[in-house]
Amino acid sequence: MAERDAFNDEEWSELCSLPLVVATLISAVDYSAQSEGREFNAFVDFLRQVGGRRKRAPIVDAVLKDAAPIDQAAFRDQCTMIATARSGEKPIEAALKRIKQSGALLADRLEPKQASAFRDFIMELGGAVARAHKESMLPFANPVSHTEDFHLRRISKALGV
């Protein structure tokens, strides 16, 4: 597949891990044990829905095909690592750096339409995870917390959207 051939093995592995990185980052920035399960389910459901679409961008199709199986324990461990980081550790910044590097790779190696389709896929995934757990029981409450919204904007900027 031409999309896969544009990257070396390390770069491809990083692109294939990006959905998990984004999902766990969004889940962890406003973390609760209650929301984690819902956000994991939203992540898996989103990937299943995208995988079931008849028309997908070839790059998204290739990443979904090659990505590691989704494991709730790995999702939980990644969320916990981010949420419980000590003050000197910067897992959110490290994740955003990975996202930014991936965004630069996409822009450099793919046609603009393909790169845009993958960035859109990542942002839709982040939004689906953020909306999975309503942050308040009030009927008019926003389904996305201020913290999640802030980090979605940071991810968007890192990807170059």
Domain extents for the chain?
2-159
CB 5 within 8 A of CB 59: no
* Residue 127: its H or E element: helix 112-130
pLDDT score of 1: 54
Q: What is the pTM of this model?
A: 0.89
| Close Cβ partners of 81 (under 8 Å, ≥ 6 residues apart) | 28, 91
148, with CB counted inside 10 A (0-12, 13-18, 19+), is buried
Closest CA to 30 of 141, 124, 131: 131
Write down the pLDDT at residue 80.
86
Determine the straight-line distance between the first and last CA of the chain, rounded to whole angstroms. 25
Question: Which portions of the chain are predicted below pLDDT 50?
Answer: none
Per-residue pLDDT of 148-157, as tens digits, reads 999 999 999 9
Q: What is the pLDDT of residue 68?
A: 85
Residues 6+ apart with CB under 8 A from 51: 64
Q: For position 56, what pLDDT does the model report? A: 78
pLDDT of residue 140: 61
Instruction: Identify the pLDDT of residue 137.
Output: 57
